[in-house]
Amino acid sequence: MRLRSRAIFPLVRTTAITTSAVSSPPAVLSVGHALRERRRFTEDDVAAYAAVSGDRNPVHLDDAVARELSGFQRGRVVHGMLVASLFPSVIAASFPGAVYASQTLKFAAPVYVGDEVVARVKALNIRMIGTTNCSTTSRYLVKFATKCFMDKEEGLVAIEGEAMAVLPTLELSSQSTSN
């Protein structure tokens, strides 16, 4: 089977992963530890996501439709799943090799094109899972509370839910600890 070649524009972002610690993050994930990522969604991000996902709903692409037909007073809204993609992004940046297993989501408020959001994942439960036949190392099943906020004070929630991920280690990547 031959796949057709097609240009896919990467979602470019500037991120800063921070933790709940005051000065420096802990080297090892523990219950209560939170990781964050800030992101401003641009018109290009929304257009690229629409092209890749096939979700061309006009509330994402047409200001007039978003305002007049759908009631989004500020115009076009970012795809909810694009915003929610920040959660596995935070986890993968902190724990390379992590496998995202599940996610529940509640969309509480719209994110408009141009808005900056803060995504936070907070460890709720950590359980070591057994080794497999092909591996001698332990892995960890971690339940995270996931929230995406519309303000820096983390007050107005846009998305919330829970995620499960299998982590190869509880040690934070050095990439995630640099600000």
Residue 125: band (very low, low, confident or very high) from pLDDT cuts 50, 70, 90 = very high
Q: Give yes or no for residue 26 having a pLDDT over 70.
A: no
Domain presence at residue 1: no
Helix (H, G, I), strand (E, B) or coil at 7: coil
The domain spanning residue 105 has which CATH number? 3.10.129.10
Domain presence at residue 139: yes
Domain presence at residue 107: yes
Nearest Cα neighbor of 127 from 24, 30, 35 is 30
Count structural domains, the chain: 1
Domain presence at residue 5: no
**Region 4-17: what's the mean pLDDT?**
38
Higher-pLDDT residue of 112, 8: 112
Nearest Cα neighbor of 38 from 120, 108, 157 is 120
Question: How many residues would you count in the chain?
Answer: 179
Are 33 and 122 in contact by the 8 Å Cβ rule? The answer is yes
Strands (E), the chain: 18-19, 34-40, 99-107, 116-129, 139-149, 157-167
Residue for token pair 């036949």 = 133
Type of residue numbered 65: V
Domain presence at residue 66: no
- Residue-range definition of the domain harbouring residue 141: 18-41+80-177
Residue 4: band (very low, low, confident or very high) from pLDDT cuts 50, 70, 90 = very low
Tokens of 18: 């921070």
Domain presence at residue 11: no
Query: What global pTM score does this model have?
Result: 0.81
pLDDT in tens, 132-162: 666 567 899 999 999 999 987 788 999 999 9
Nearest Cα neighbor of 168 from 132, 118, 117, 116 is 132
Helix (H, G, I), strand (E, B) or coil at 83: helix
pLDDT value for 135: 58
